[in-house]
Amino acid sequence: MSIQLTRKKWIQVACSLAFGSMFSSYAAEAQLKIGSLVPKNSLYHRQLMEIGESWKKGQSGSPRFNVFTDGSQGGEAEMVRRMRIGQLQAALLSVVGLREIEPSIAALQNLPLAFRSWEELDYVREKMRPGMERKFLEKGYVVLAWGDAGWVRFFSKQAALVPDDYKKMKFFSWGAEAEQQEIMKSLGYTPVPLEPTDILPAIQTGMINVVPSTPYFALASQIYNSAPHMLEINWAPIVGAFVISKKSWDEMTPEAQKNLQLASDKAGGLIRIQARKEVEDSVEAMKKRGLQINKPNAAQLKEWQSLSESLYPRIRGKMVSAETFDEVFAHLKTYRSTKTP
């Protein structure tokens, strides 16, 4: 009896060790799951795939990576939550998601008509970049690349040229931006909080009438078919970054970290160049398919400028910290003082 029990116990122990070893080997295999709202097969998706392949080369064993597109992992706030609990390791996010990690980043996107050109944005971002990246690191994330996705313009069902025209319409608004919705309501506008994946059915059914969007996204998602009027004004840039959790970064080999950083730097540069080119390319493509361009005259542009300036006191200290708000405008002042009008 004693021998049988011992033998039985030994078999159980041996099986446990075998299964445990098998499980440990499986669990130890490196994986990189990347989330994003970008459309499948777009430039952004292709660059994320290249980043994944570069990361894979620096790993041993059988590393696996997945790039989730089209918001299949939820909105940007949801993707940040998934990174926090380890369901995603990295994500390509706009300021909407990035501010869930570090709120001060909102200064690069949530200041309407603050930036007059890409050169101004590049100057300010590079000045603020070291401090921003340090803040993200303190929150547990490594910023691997910076990018942008074009200027926000207003796509609407009806033609509109001045701010008051839009008070009769219902705006798409990011579900996570409660402060922005509050400001819009106080000015007489009607925001409808949704996720990007809800935009097309919402505008088709009349739930919303206006979508602030980059031309590329409006073309790729076919928004312009239901909202065939575009206001030609560069309201604000869509700024983004590719971030990875520090935990995932620290678990990588030095070679994998190097490969990932180099690939991310390259991708960020290509994304910025191509995204800026695609603004006009996308507008031209939509014009050929019926998009109506509404271009404000000087007096109408002045109304938009007045609106943006009236928004700044509401944004400063609420949507953007006062310190960061002042830093952006200080850098803009310095940049403009060195340029010949």
Output the pTM of the full model: 0.83
Give the ranges where the chain is alpha helix by DSSP (H).
Answer: 2-28, 43-57, 76-84, 95-98, 118-138, 178-186, 199-205, 215-220, 223-226, 246-250, 254-288, 298-315, 322-337
Surface-to-core class of residue 252, CB atoms within 10 Å of its CB (0-12 exposed, 13-18 middle, 19+ buried): buried
Residue with tokens 């996010």: 93
pLDDT of 110-140, one tens digit each? 899 999 999 999 999 999 999 999 999 999 9
Pair 214, 42: CB distance under 8 Å = no
Phi, psi angles (nearest 5°) of residue 71: 70, 25
pLDDT of 188-200, one tens digit each? 999 999 988 899 9
Residue 188 lies in a domain: yes
pLDDT of 77-117, one tens digit each? 999 999 999 999 999 999 989 999 999 999 999 899 999 99
Residue 9 lies in a domain: no
Domain range holding 237?
Answer: 31-337
Residue 255 lies in a domain: yes
**DSSP H or E stretch at residue 235:** strand 229-245
For the record, the structure tokens of 257 come out as 């970290």
What is the number of domains present in the chain? 1
**Residue 68: which CATH number?**
3.40.190.170
Residue 176 lies in a domain: yes
